Amino acid sequence: QVQLAESGGGLVQAGGSLRLSCAASGSFNRISAMEMGWYRQVPGKQRESVASITRDGSINYGDSVKGRFTISRDNAKTKVYLQMNSLKPEDTGVYFCNGRIFLQDYWGRGTQVTVSS
């Protein structure tokens, strides 16, 4: 069993920054083997991948956030972070922490990020 919990969302003006955190608990062996990532979702749109990081440290970013967002993982692999800089109104959405191992996905409950103009 794995549980994910996001924190750090809030309201910020365009151009500002936020740092999201995801804390993983449960089976350490499963957590350490998972690819971790951040997704965001706006009502009426599909959930989209923002950033991901594998257990080996390989990182991918969505095109819309490249150069502005940074994903990282602590040494114990139990926490994942998303540093968001130069935020834009279109970054607004609910951000979900995701953990994937084989075909099994684990999700947090989400944290709201709102960027005002």
Work out the burial of residue 97: count CB atoms within 10 Å of its CB; fewer than 13 is exposed, 13-18 middle, 19 or more buried.
Answer: buried
**What is the three-class DSSP state of 90?**
helix
Q: Is the pLDDT of residue 78 over 90?
A: no
Q: Is the pLDDT of residue 43 over 90?
A: no
Q: Tell me what the pLDDT averaged over the chain comes to.
A: 95
What pLDDT sits at residue 105? Answer: 95
Q: Is the pLDDT of residue 77 over 90?
A: no
Give me the mean pLDDT over the 14-22 stretch: 98
Give me the mean pLDDT over the 81-88 stretch: 98
What pLDDT sits at residue 96? Answer: 98
- Angstrom distance (rounded) from CA 86 to CA 27: 35
Question: Rounded to a whole number, what is the largest CA-CA distance in the chain?
Answer: 43
What pLDDT sits at residue 12? Answer: 98
Sign of the alpha-carbon dihedral angle for 107, 78, 15, 13: positive
What pLDDT sits at residue 56? Answer: 86
What pLDDT sits at residue 84? Answer: 98
Q: Is the pLDDT of residue 94 over 90?
A: yes
